[in-house]
Amino acid sequence: MADRIFAYSSSPHVKNPRTTKHIMIDVCIALAPACIMGIVYFGYMAALLLVVSVLSAVASEFIYLLITGKKFKQIIQGFDYTSCVTGLLFAMSIGVQTPIYVPIIGNAFAIIVVKMIFGGTGKNLVNPAVTGRIFAFISFTSVMASGWVAPSIGAILGGSSINPLTGATVLTDGFATPTVASLSNLDLLLGTGLAGCIGETCKIALLIGGVYLVVRKVISPTVPLIYIAVTGLFTVCLCGFDFAEFLPSILSGGLILGAVFMATDYTTSPNTFVGNIVYAVMLGLITAGLRVSSGKEVVSFAILIMNLIVPLIDKFIIPRPFGYKKAKKGGAN
Amino acid sequence: MSIKKGKNYPYGIHVPDRKSLTEDKPIESMLAPEKVYVCMSQHIGAPAIPCVAVGDVVKKGVMVGQASGVISANVFASVSGTVVGIEDIVNALGQKLTYVVIENNHDESQTLFEDMTDFSPASLIERIRLAGIVGLGGAGFPTAVKLSPKSQLDVLIINGAECEPYLNCDYRLMLERTDDIYKGIKYAAAALKINRIIVGIEANKPQAIKAFERFDDLEVVILKKQYPMGSEKHLIYCTTGRKVPCGKMPFDVGVCVQNIKTMIACYEAIDLNKPLTETVITVSGNGVKEPKNLKVPLGTPFNTLVEYCGGLSEQTMKLVAGGPMMGKALVGLNQFTRKTDSGLLCLQREEISLQSATNCINCGMCAKNCPMRLMPMYIESFTLAGDYKNAERYGAMNCIECGSCAFNCPAKRALVQSISLAKVKIKEMKKNG
């Protein structure tokens, strides 16, 4: 018995079995309803884009790790599904008319440049999916921002079944113009009759995913709720206190996808409760402000901007330790 | 009698408590082993100095180690027999300590103190000091020192939270020896000249709460089942609403916190004239065949405990002295029961976490759960970068090492280990100016 060797480590010796991998799988599950609705609305091309996007994201990560000298077995063991989430989010935020090479290039950029070069999971400064999307959008504007396809299911409550706008999800070509109201709020919520990105149109599916994440305690509802509310309210303010703008503004574009799945990304959001509130409020202000002034969909840009400000928020907003009393001069530093 | 609910404290975690293994098992008195290894350093502070020589025949209850200073404690022979060695042994915690080894001659008689005639605070404290009583909850701070604060206190809190998973020794004692605990509490209160006594018990121990209901002069506070409710600072907050300021001690807010086992030791020292020679320990975990609550002489080797409980299973992967959240891992069974021990856990593969650490994903769960409201991820990264100044700025010294951060960390990072390292380094830094 004396020679037996026992495991040795620092306390605690029992731990919550949940790991990063489990969390990322939960996120993938939460994204599933919106993906399925995307496929229902936009057909097999949507499914193809989703699959290609995920595969290219995972492949990019593997190739990077292989080039940097990791063994294939190690990579498999260390694989944590974050690139699957990136791939899914990327495909969900592009239109079904997008050529197949765009997700491949976009994901390669998102994974290799935005994530892996900075040190892999958890070390990236900005959200890979958001940045990858912006990269692709700027690089391939002509093919990504035109030729929007309307979903197979038309608007339920009248309105034209083909969206008169050629932009992504109502917003891109003219926000705060009368055409916004050409679809009812219910249709905006369901995404019926609404041309747009694969995963962005069906808001109800995204919200179901969000509720799943909250129930599984993957995210706290603070950021999405505040972000969505502030965006809506600030839009109302900017449009001359026209409360009819409230619902269309929050149900349009990629706001819900961004608020639930992109703004809540652990790595690129603040670590404290107060910090998260500041972050979400600023996100809402930037989104609404830029939307009204530019007339374009700006959720991903707003998230990118705020991602870069997060380190500052985290630097200045630190919770007070239990029993903290104002430090005497020179005590704290 | 008064029962009330404790104040809510929003930061803490829920740990599967796995107490059912030994919850309903009455405390068994284990036969004294053939040899005991009485450690000279079973408390915080200076080790006791051996005051017997090899070859001496000692009776149970004879002092074998004398306190060497104010923050120190006497150590007594836990069995009668012959001193066969005074040795420096490296134990399974990796500490090299002095042990007095006594070979048992199975003489059941015991040396006792004289009956007390004077029950003044000073003589009560003197008896507690003499009996070598220290905080038996784990810290091992000499109780006599704790009972003689510089300023008058107004509340005595008895810690019956026992929030660590697996452990049941305090719980069993609360059920089986309620009266003895009560008497001990009264002596401690008399020593402190305090009238207000609060017993804090976690809500998952309804029988223990019931047991204490009948005492008119105790306030029973039912605490939410939450980890780490047994932490001194959080216990004080949840029972009295007082916040112990950072870097201060409970006596700064007029509170003294005492452990259940310590109270029994006080009772035995004062009423039964017995020095502290035994302790109650929970031997649990799936790795041991029959988990038990045992009353054992101090210095009993851990392998004797394990054998008494049916031996280790083949699948046992980890041994822990204490609870699974704050206890220390043992490299083997080469360890001997100390005053402060409350558990010996033999854990199997499925009970422990063996995942290796991955990158921090900044999820903030450690900060969200930290009962001290710290940001463990920053303290960790500063520590790993060797930047102890910033680690201190982020409050490393306030850490109580409860393990809430590492418990929930999805990246399985060794947060507690880094923070303990930071604490050591910061102390060194301050010492060197």
Q: Which domain holds residue B384?
A: 365-431
Average pLDDT, chain A: 85
pLDDT, residue A179, reads: 39
Integer angstrom CA distances of residue A286 from A89, A301, B44, B152: 21, 9, 56, 57
**DSSP result, A71-127:** -HHHHHHH--SHHHHHHHHHHHTSBTTS-THHHHHHHHIIIIIIIGGGTSTTT-SS-
Which residues 6+ apart lie within 8 Å of B304 measured at CB? B30, B33
pLDDT, residue B147, reads: 93
**Which of B301, B321, B354 is the last residue before a domain boundary?**
B354
- Contact yes or no for B327 and A11 at CB 8 A: yes
Regarding whether B379 and B303 lie in a shared domain, the answer is no
Query: For residue A266, which of B40, B156, B48, B361 has the smallest C-alpha distance?
Result: B361
Regarding whether B142 and B8 lie in a shared domain, the answer is yes
pLDDT in tens, A176-197: 333 344 567 787 788 777 777 8
Residue B221 pLDDT > 90: yes
pLDDT band at B76 (very low <50, low <70, confident <90, very high): very high
B80 falls within a domain: no
B71 falls within a domain: no
B382 falls within a domain: yes
B99 falls within a domain: no
pLDDT in tens, B2-14: 888 888 898 989 9
Q: How far is A308 from chain B (nearest CA, A)?
A: 15
**How many structural domains compose chain B?**
2
Regarding whether B369 and B227 lie in a shared domain, the answer is no
User: For chain A (length 333 residues), average pLDDT per consecutive 10?
Assistant: 76 91 95 94 93 96 94 90 94 91 96 93 92 92 77 62 38 38 72 80 92 94 95 89 83 89 93 94 94 83 94 90 66 38
**Which of B322, B354, B386 is the last residue before a domain boundary?**
B354
Regarding whether B268 and B313 lie in a shared domain, the answer is yes
Average pLDDT over every residue of B385-412? 93
Regarding whether B394 and B320 lie in a shared domain, the answer is no
pLDDT, residue A67, reads: 94
- Contact yes or no for A321 and B411 at CB 8 A: no
B327 falls within a domain: yes
Give buried/exposed letters for A311-329 (b at 16+ CB in 10 A, else e): eebbeebbbebbbbeeeee
Regarding whether B215 and B185 lie in a shared domain, the answer is yes
Contact A63, A110 (CB under 8 A): no
Q: How far is B308 from chain A (nearest CA, A)?
A: 15
Query: How many CB atoms are closer than 10 A to CB A115?
Result: 30
Average pLDDT, chain B: 92
pLDDT in tens, B108-146: 888 999 898 889 999 999 999 999 999 998 888 999 999
Average pLDDT over every residue of B195-214? 93
B47 falls within a domain: no
Task: Give this prediction's pTM.
Answer: 0.89
pLDDT, residue A154, reads: 67
Contact A97, A140 (CB under 8 A): no
Regarding whether B399 and B425 lie in a shared domain, the answer is yes
Q: How far is B147 from chain A (nearest CA, A)?
A: 23
Which residues 6+ apart lie within 8 Å of A101 measured at CB? none
Rounded CA gap, B318 and A5, in Å? 9
- Contact yes or no for B407 and A121 at CB 8 A: no
Q: Which residues on chain B are in Cβ contact (under 8 Å) with A270?
A: 364
Q: How many A/B residue pairs have CB atoms within 8 Å?
A: 169
Global ipTM: 0.85
CATH number at residue B3: 3.40.50.11540
B109 falls within a domain: no
CA-nearest residue of chain B to A3? B332
**DSSP result, B131-181:** TT-B-TTTT--BHHHHTS-SS---EEEEEE---SSS--HHHHHHHH-HHHH
Identity of the residue in B359, B361, B395 whose CB atom sits nearest the CB atom of A321:
B395
Regarding whether B372 and B237 lie in a shared domain, the answer is no
Regarding whether B400 and B285 lie in a shared domain, the answer is no
- Contact yes or no for B358 and A19 at CB 8 A: yes
Regarding whether B311 and B392 lie in a shared domain, the answer is no
Regarding whether B267 and B369 lie in a shared domain, the answer is no
B319 falls within a domain: yes
**Which of B329, B354, B379 is the last residue before a domain boundary?**
B354
Regarding whether B265 and B208 lie in a shared domain, the answer is yes
pLDDT, residue A106, reads: 96
Integer angstrom CA distances of residue B16 from A17, B163, B324: 11, 10, 11
